[in-house]
Amino acid sequence: MDELRDRFRAASADAEVVFWRPQSSPAEMFRDLAAYAGEHGTTWDRYGDGGPVAELEGRVAELLGKPTAVMFPSGVMAQQAALRAWCDRSGSRRVALPDLSHLLHHEQDGPRRVLGLELEHLTTGREVPTAAALAKVGGRLGAAMVELPLRDAGCLLPTWDELLELSAAARERGVPLHADGARIWESVPHWGRELAEAADLFDSVYVSLYKGLGGSSGALVVCPEDLAGELRSWRQRMGGTIFSMTTAAVGGLKGLDEQLTRFGDYRQWAIDLAAALHEHGIRTFPEVPHIATFLAYAEGTPDEVNERVVSFTEQRKVVPCGLWSPADVPGWVVTELTCYDSAVGKDPAEVAGMMAEALAIVLP
């Protein structure tokens, strides 16, 4: 597999990419950020104060209808700080969250070992958060967290009514409700709602600057004014109040300007692609994607399927998809597809056909 990954990386370097974003060099990214900063008369922030950091915090808080926002150098730090701050207020370190949450699978046990949080399962597997799920978690909770969308479940979203009921249940019980909204920008078209409507259901929301928005790094937490001071204290304790976050903040502002209105189009293209993939025997989850990112499934083993994908990339100079991993069902493989600018300029039916060709799928 390592050899296949090396070949895939080498072949992708000078090939056309269909999914995610066009590849760019650091120099190209820095030139784009410098041009944006020049156009907008950007000054430096210092230790998170002033400059584009203050502008970004104000703009994101307004978009999500919250009193204020606090910028962090990473989403991991932002989420852990927010949950710890809510737990300190609630008098309990217990946090209910999905068992597929990023905090449980990608943070080296940081929430427990660094901040002393006790993590309980709000949902299990491909289960959306509901008021009934919250009711099953007994005892005193410091906070509850939902991931919108649940990325490891194919970017699965609850219905709007399910969110309304969950929010009401949490408030009635006195449990602060926090949203992992790294992709909240991409989620609201699924509900046909505005960002502020979605954020109003939560006491705090974390947003990412580099996923859908395409920035270089960084995150924010939108929250009440009185929580912001506690978040800034935790940011400093965790080593996140760095000399400057100007570069990341400029990337976030640029992303808001260029991407915020496009997520509905990305989602619709992904829906059209999924329908076309079904015609070639490639299954998707969700069957109808909720956002522009979803999971695709095909028959085969990782080695044989990835050999075909790598060979296709080497020969055609087009990356038809990412590499594939074993699926839960033996004899099937899975990959994640993210449909941004590189994809939406193409015919989804043609892209589906190209993927089927790359995978050597022949229907009876």
pLDDT on residue 361: 67
Q: Is residue 267 part of a domain?
A: yes
Q: Which residues pair with 338 in a beta bridge?
A: 293
Q: Is residue 35 part of a domain?
A: no
Give the span between the Cα atoms of 314 and 134, in whole angstroms: 49
> CB atoms < 10 A from the CB of 187, how many?
23
Tell whether 140 and 171 lie within a shared domain.
yes
Question: What digits encode the pLDDT tens for the residues 281-296?
Answer: 999 999 999 999 999 9
> CB atoms < 10 A from the CB of 153, how many?
19
Nearest to 191 by CA among 264, 270, 294: 264
| CATH code assigned at 267 | 3.90.1150.10
Question: Which residue, chain included where needed, has tokens 């991993």?
Answer: 325
Whether omega for the bond prior to residue 149 falls within 30 degrees of 0, making it cis, is: yes
pLDDT on residue 22: 78
State the chain's mean pLDDT as an integer: 95
Question: Which residue, chain included where needed, has tokens 């570069």?
Answer: 247
pLDDT for residue 168 is more than 70: yes
Q: Is residue 218 part of a domain?
A: yes
Tell whether 237 and 338 lie within a shared domain.
no
Tell whether 118 and 16 lie within a shared domain.
no
Give the span between the Cα atoms of 140 and 1, in whole angstroms: 46
Are the C-beta atoms of 199 and 222 separated by less than 8 Å? yes
pLDDT for residue 24 is more than 90: no
Question: Which residue, chain included where needed, has tokens 């120099």?
Answer: 27
Tell whether 281 and 179 lie within a shared domain.
no
Q: Of 191, 223, 257, at which residue does a domain stop?
A: 257
pLDDT for residue 362 is more than 60: no
Question: What digits encode the pLDDT tens for the residues 207-230?
Answer: 999 999 999 999 999 999 999 999
Tell whether 120 and 269 lie within a shared domain.
no
For 220, the 3-state DSSP assignment is strand
Counting every residue written for the chain, the total comes to: 364
Pairing of strands 118-121, 94-97: parallel
Query: E strands along the chain, which residues?
Result: 16-17, 68-72, 94-97, 118-121, 143-147, 177-180, 204-208, 219-223, 283-285, 293-299, 318-319, 325-326, 332-338
Residue 1 confidence class, pLDDT cut points 50, 70, 90: low
Exposed / middle / buried, residue 255 (Cβ in 10 Å: 0-12, 13-18, 19+):
buried
pLDDT for residue 364 is more than 70: no
The mean pLDDT of 164-170, rounded to a whole number, is 98
Tell whether 179 and 116 lie within a shared domain.
yes
For the CA atoms of the chain, what is the radius of gyration?
21
Tell me 245's DSSP state.
Answer: -
Question: What digits encode the pLDDT tens for the residues 49-67?
Answer: 999 999 999 999 999 999 9
Lowest mean pLDDT of 69-73, 95-99, 109-113, 271-275, name the range.
109-113
Q: Which residues contact 6 (CB under 8 A, 6 or more apart)?
A: none
Tell whether 269 and 354 lie within a shared domain.
yes
pLDDT for residue 246 is more than 50: yes
Give the span between the Cα atoms of 197 and 153, in whole angstroms: 24
Are the C-beta atoms of 195 and 188 separated by less than 8 Å? yes
Q: Is residue 8 part of a domain?
A: yes
Q: Is residue 33 part of a domain?
A: no
Q: Of 257, 284, 314, at which residue does a domain stop?
A: 257
Q: Is residue 215 part of a domain?
A: yes
**Between these two residues, 4 and 244, which has the higher pLDDT value?**
244
Q: Is residue 200 part of a domain?
A: yes
Tell whether 69 and 209 lie within a shared domain.
yes
Lowest mean pLDDT of 100-104, 232-236, 270-274, name the range.
100-104
Question: What digits encode the pLDDT tens for the residues 342-358?
Answer: 999 999 999 999 999 99
For 328, the 3-state DSSP assignment is coil
Residue 360 confidence class, pLDDT cut points 50, 70, 90: confident
Q: What angle do CA 107, 255, 203 make, to 5 degrees?
A: 55
What is the tally of structural domains in the chain? 2
pLDDT on residue 3: 87
Pairing of strands 68-72, 118-121: unpaired
> CB atoms < 10 A from the CB of 63, how many?
19
| CATH code assigned at 50 | 3.40.640.10
Q: Which residues contact 221 (CB under 8 A, 6 or more apart)?
A: 69, 70, 72, 78, 79, 81, 82, 204, 205, 206, 207, 231
Lowest mean pLDDT of 36-45, 77-86, 99-108, 183-192, name the range.
99-108
pTM of the predicted structure, to 2 decimals: 0.95
Tell whether 116 and 164 lie within a shared domain.
yes
Q: Is residue 30 part of a domain?
A: no
Are the C-beta atoms of 130 and 176 separated by less than 8 Å? no
- Identify the domain containing residue 169 by its residue range: 40-257
pLDDT on residue 9: 92
Q: Of 203, 234, 257, at which residue does a domain stop?
A: 257
pLDDT on residue 2: 83
